[in-house]
Amino acid sequence: MINMDWKKNIKGVIFDLDGVIVDTAKFHYKAWKALADKLGIDFSEEQNENLKGMSRMDSLNYILSLGELQNMLEDDKRKLAASKNLYYLELIEELDESDILPGTMNWIQECKQNGIKISLGSASKNARRILDGLNLTDHFDAIIDGTNTTETKPHPQVFLLAAKALNVEPSECVVIEDAYKGLEAARKGGFYSIGIGDPEILKIADINLTSLADESMDVLEQL
């Protein structure tokens, strides 16, 4: 491995939201589970893992397919997705600064100290609301989320838009992701990546950490 002078080469960091900055997976699961129960579909926490990084409609289609209900009318699907989201919004209403995952603020501060721009790169259409709740919105130079995209991860669109908004090249950016699909997207787009979570599952990442609290930004020397 060739060690990189990251302070010279890295100009942007793109943070995924769910699972990197805040642990919302448990709320997504609770809301999807309530919907699945109503439809008589078995939906486990392990299956919920597959939804990481997936858009709301793709997640719904995945759950419906578990009950062989995927051929439902689009209009009915939209209603189900909207009702899941209403419950999800109730569940995340109480999120505040204390829910920011350990290490996140240090990384944001280190980016600032080193003149590195930061963007969000999330599939969520609720991203701005969540960042506001966490009091983080003003820290970001750009916010690209599910309201800006037409493609879903593993397509790199969300990260390419984020890099463009920061006016940096993908090859000068690090994407921080907890989802395999997100890391695939980073790779396809030509970004460096850090996988947060199980290194066995996320070994496609350039660097693996179990949490941002594990390391300072000097870990980028490993790139």
Q: Which residues bind ligand BG6 (CB under 6 A)?
A: 17-18, 28, 51-56, 59, 85, 122-126, 146, 179
Separation between Cα atoms, residue 205 and residue 170, nearest integer Å: 15
**Any bridge partners for residue 195, and if so which?**
177, 208
Both tokens assigned to 65: 């397919």
Examine the residue annotation and report whether 18 is marked as an active-site residue of this protein: yes
Q: Is 184 in the site for Mg ion (CB under 5 A)?
A: no
The distance of closest approach from Cβ of residue 71 to Mg ion in the complex, given in angstroms and rounded to an integer, is 29
SS (H, E, C) 68-121: CCCCCCHHHHHHHHHHHHHHHHHHHCCCCHHHECCCHHHHHHHHHHCCCEEEEE
Considering only 12, 13, 14, 19, the residue that binds Mg ion (CB under 5 A) is 19
Closest CA to 5 of 107, 112, 114: 114
51 binds, among ligand BG6, Mg ion, none (CB under 5 to 8 A by kind): ligand BG6
Q: Does 96 participate in catalysis according to the annotation?
A: no
56 binds, among Mg ion, ligand BG6, none (CB under 5 to 8 A by kind): ligand BG6
Q: Which of these is catalytic: 18, 145, 178, 206? A: 18
Applying CB under 5 A, which residues contact Mg ion?
Answer: 16, 18-19, 178-179
